[in-house]
Amino acid sequence: MKVLVPIKRVIDYNVKVRVKADSSNVDLTNVKMSINPFCEIAVEEAVRLKEAGTATEVIAVSIGDKKCQEQLRTALALGADRAIQIDTEENLDSLNVAKLLQKVVEEEQPQLVILGKQSIDSDNNQTGQMLAALTGLPQGTFASEVKVEGDKVNVTREIDGGLQTVALNLPAIVTTDLRLNEPRYAKLPDIMKAKRKPLDVKSAADFGIDLSPRANLLKVTPPAERQAGIVVETVDELVEKLKNEAKVIS
C-alpha cells in the first residue's frame, strides 16, 4: 500500500512572529523555517506504517518554491522513500493546494493520504478535508490512532468531549492531531542517505489548474496586548481581590 504525505514549509514553531511595519503580512525575512509540526507527525505515522509492513512506499509531496526541498529532504531523512516538489512562487490558499494534491493522488493512486490537521502559519485546518471532497474519499480528521484493517482504516479522532472512532473505506484521507505519535529525530546517516533519495520537481503551472487567489489579504496587525496585572502575596489577598475587585467569584 502506497502512502502519500503532503507537507508544508512553515515558520519554525519556536520563532517569535513579527508583523511587518506596513501591516502587509508577517515578516519572514531571515526567519528559521521548518516542516510544519503536524506534517512531521504525518510523516512519522506513514513511516511507522511502512515499518509495520502495512505500507510499501511513502511519498512526501510539498508545494512551494525550491526552498521547500529542505523540508522534503527532512521527510526523506525521517524515512520517506521519495519526494515530489510542486514548484510555485505563489503562496497558494488551501483550495488550490487541495486541487494540486488531487492531481498527485490521481497520478500516484495512494491507498492512504496522511496530512497535518493544520499548518501553524495560516491555521486554516482545511486542506485535508478539501482534498477528501475533491477526490470523493472519506476522511478521518484530527487522528490520535490509525489502524489499517483489510480494505478499511479505523481512525480514532480527537473530538470535543473525548474520542470518536470511524471506519473508512480505503483509499482514505487522514489528518493528524498531536497525540498520534512522537516523531523521531533523523539520524546523521539517514540525513546523508536522504540526499540520494529521488526528488522529482514538477511545475504547478503544468497541472492546468486555475490557481488564482480566492481572497485578498487586506492587512495583518499584531494582536491587542493584554496589560500585566499585580502580584499578590497571599491566597487571602487573592480571594479578596477576586471577590471584591474583579467580582468574578462570590
Partner 1 sequence: MSILVYAEHDNNTLKAETLKTVAAAQAMGGDIHILVAGHNCQAVADAAAKVNGVSQVLVADNAAYEHQLAENVSLLVTELAGDYEHIVATALTTGKNFMPRVAALLDVAQVSDIIGVESADTFVRPIYAGNAIATVQSLDSKKVITVRATGFDAVATDGSAEIVALDKATDAGTSSHVSDELTVSERPDLGAASVVISGGRGMQNGDNFKMLEGIADKLGAAIGASRAAVDAGFVPNDMQVGQTGKIVAPDLYIAVGISGAIQHLAGMKDSKVIVAINKDPEAPIFQVADYGIVADLFDTLPELESKL
> Out of 1, 91, 111, 154, which residue is the one contacting partner 1 (CB under 8 A)?
154
- Quick one: 85 or 94, whose CB is closer to partner 1? 94
Examine residue 165 and tell whether it contacts partner 1 (CB under 8 A): yes
Kindly state the smallest distance separating residue 187's Cβ from partner 1, in Å. 23
Q: Does 208 engage in binding with partner 1 (CB under 8 A)?
A: no
Q: Which stretch binds partner 1 (CB under 8 A): 57-65, 73-81, 82-90, 175-183?
A: 175-183
For the chain, give the longest Cα–Cα distance. 69
Cα separations in angstroms, 129 against 23, 140, 171, 192 = 30, 9, 14, 35
165, 154 Cβ separation under 8 angstroms: yes
Neighbours of 123 (CB within 10 A): 8
Residues 3-32 that bind partner 1 (CB under 8 A): 11, 13, 16-17, 19, 26
Residue 178 touches partner 1, criterion: CB under 8 A: yes
Which residue, 4 or 173, has its beta carbon nearer to partner 1? 173
Cβ atoms of 177 and 142 within 8 Å: the answer is: yes
Which residues, at least 6 apart from 190, have a Cβ–Cβ distance to it below 8 Å? 77, 78, 79
| Interface pick for partner 1 out of 6, 79, 138, 183 (rule CB under 8 A) | 138
